[in-house]
């Protein structure tokens, strides 16, 4: 087991080192930036599908204390890729939108780069951020439900109610929304928006590793909450008797 985990650790860090090498070597970095500028949505898809999935795998490594490949990882990587395309768009929308709002007097400190970066990050993470978590959660649950039906050869239709019943809203709101959005993503994305536009793409790509880890951590919190609720039910029943 230790040998397997060591090989997994080395493989993961080699993959990360490969990305860093791509960005450190001037010619490779220039080619990568040119590609992402020419094809921003494809670039966003590739970065998030690879790096956020790496974050997922690392998060599972932390959770399970061993490397595991989750079922449907390719489909989940595609889901991350679509989120990467969404992030590519919203970064431009929010970073430029707050500048227009400042110029119109709707937000203060017009002309301040720091204020523009902070407002862009804050508005993005207090509006798009929560919905991004919801989109990813429902997408992941849909993939898992499809795989379960395929394994059992069940043709029942997947409903929104079925997926909604599986969401741990306490973890979603209490951790993902109330903690990670204001305390993690607003400061980090403020720093990203202070970078030149070409380098924002690179920074946000590596933050997607952290995003994958955060999503797994939310699952851990959700599982602990479920276990605690399960432990409390017999006690409550005993008291009722």
pLDDT tens, 52-110?
A: 899 889 988 888 889 999 899 999 999 999 999 999 899 999 999 999 999 999 999 99
The confidence score (pLDDT) of residue 156 equals 84
Alpha carbons 33 and 43: distance in angstroms, whole number: 9
Burial group, residue 56, by CB count within 10 angstroms (0-12, 13-18, 19+): buried
**Is the confidence at residue 240, as pLDDT, over 50?**
no
Alpha carbons 51 and 217: distance in angstroms, whole number: 16
Alpha carbons 121 and 117: distance in angstroms, whole number: 6
The confidence score (pLDDT) of residue 201 equals 64
As given in the structure block, the two tokens for residue 121 are: 């990050």
Q: What is the DSSP string of 209-236?
A: HHHHHHHHHHHHHHHHHHHHHHHHHHHH
The confidence score (pLDDT) of residue 228 equals 66
pLDDT tens, 125-181?
A: 999 999 999 999 999 999 999 999 998 888 789 999 999 999 999 999 999 999 999
DSSP code, position 105: T
The confidence score (pLDDT) of residue 233 equals 56
């Amino acid at each position: 087991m230790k040998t397997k985990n060591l090989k997994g650790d080395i493989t993961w860090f080699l993959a990360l080192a490969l990305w860093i090498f791509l960005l450190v070597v001037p010619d490779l970095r220039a080619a990568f930036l040119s590609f992402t500028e020419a094809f921003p949505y494809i670039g966003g898809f590739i970065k998030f599908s690879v790096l956020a999935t790496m974050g997922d795998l690392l998060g599972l490594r932390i959770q399970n204390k061993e490397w595991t490949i989750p079922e449907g990882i390719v489909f989940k990587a595609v889901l991350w890729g679509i989120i990467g395309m969404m992030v590519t768009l919203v970064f431009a929308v929010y970073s430029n939108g707050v500048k227009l709002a400042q110029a119109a007097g709707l937000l203060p400190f017009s002309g301040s780069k720091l204020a523009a970066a902070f407002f862009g990050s804050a508005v993005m993470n207090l509006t798009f951020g929560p919905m991004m978590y919801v989109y990813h959660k429902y997408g992941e649950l849909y993939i898992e439900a499809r795989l379960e039906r395929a394994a059992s050869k069940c043709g029942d239709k997947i409903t929104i109610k079925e997926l909604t019943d599986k969401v741990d809203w306490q973890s979603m709101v209490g951790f993902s929304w109330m903690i990670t959005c204001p305390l993690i993503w607003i400061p980090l994305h403020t720093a990203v928006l202070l970078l030149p536009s070409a380098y924002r793409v690179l920074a946000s790509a590596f933050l997607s590793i952290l995003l994958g880890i955060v999503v797994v951590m939310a699952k851990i919190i959700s599982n602990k909450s479920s276990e605690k609720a399960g432990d409390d039910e017999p006690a409550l029943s005993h008291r009722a008797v």
